[in-house]
Amino acid sequence: MDRASLLEAWQNIFGRPAPKGLSQNMLRRFLAFEVQAKAQGGLNRSTRVGLTSAKPRRRQSTKLKPGGRLIREWNGVTHIVEVTEGGFEWRGQSWRSLSVIAREITGAHWSGPRFFGLNR
């Protein structure tokens, strides 16, 4: 089907115009799925209920506690950062942000939590 035919089929199946910017390939895929779902009866009840009642996953925060240590090797040098009540301690100085420490270590902008392996 050419694009005009796909857009017409979309209108017939969904009862509204296709979203702008969908490629012909994506239009074909959506339409094929919908035609197959209607022919096969669609999703069973338990699957539909599971999809509608699924709760979004919350991102787990890494809670750093005072007294903790973050260790990272960079260019053959091991850096140890102590977690304190007010932030962090590295090389005998207090810092409020891991990102600033990461920038000092690398000379480039880094996310501090990412640099120290706190993010997946």
Task: Encode pLDDT of 74-117 as tens digits.
Answer: 999 999 999 999 899 999 999 999 999 999 999 999 999 999 98
Sign of the C-alpha dihedral computed for residues 19, 20, 21 and 26 taken in this order:
positive
One domain for residues 32 and 73: no
End-to-end CA distance of the chain: 43
DSSP 3-state percent helix, strand, coil across the chain (nearest 5)? 40, 20, 40
Residue 77: predicted pLDDT: 93
Instruction: Work out the average pLDDT over 18-22.
Output: 89
pLDDT in tens, 37-85: 889 888 888 888 888 887 776 665 568 899 999 999 999 999 999 999 9
* 49 and 82 part of one domain: no
Distance from chain centroid for Cα 13: 32
pLDDT at 53: 81
pLDDT confidence of residue 71: 93
Task: Write the DSSP assignment of 50-102 as a string of letters.
Answer: HHHHPPPPPPPP----TT-EEEEEETTEEEEEEEETTEEEETTEEES-HHHHH
Alpha-carbon gap, residue 98 to 81, rounded angstroms: 9
Rounded-to-integer distance, Cα 34 and Cα 31, Å: 5
For residue 19, pLDDT over 60 is answered with yes
The total number of structural domains in the chain stands at 2
Per-residue pLDDT at 119: 80
Q: Are residues 44 and 84 in the same domain?
A: no
The pLDDT of residue 62 is: 63
Domain residues for 81? Answer: 69-115
Residue 44: inside a domain: yes
At residue 58, the pLDDT reads: 62
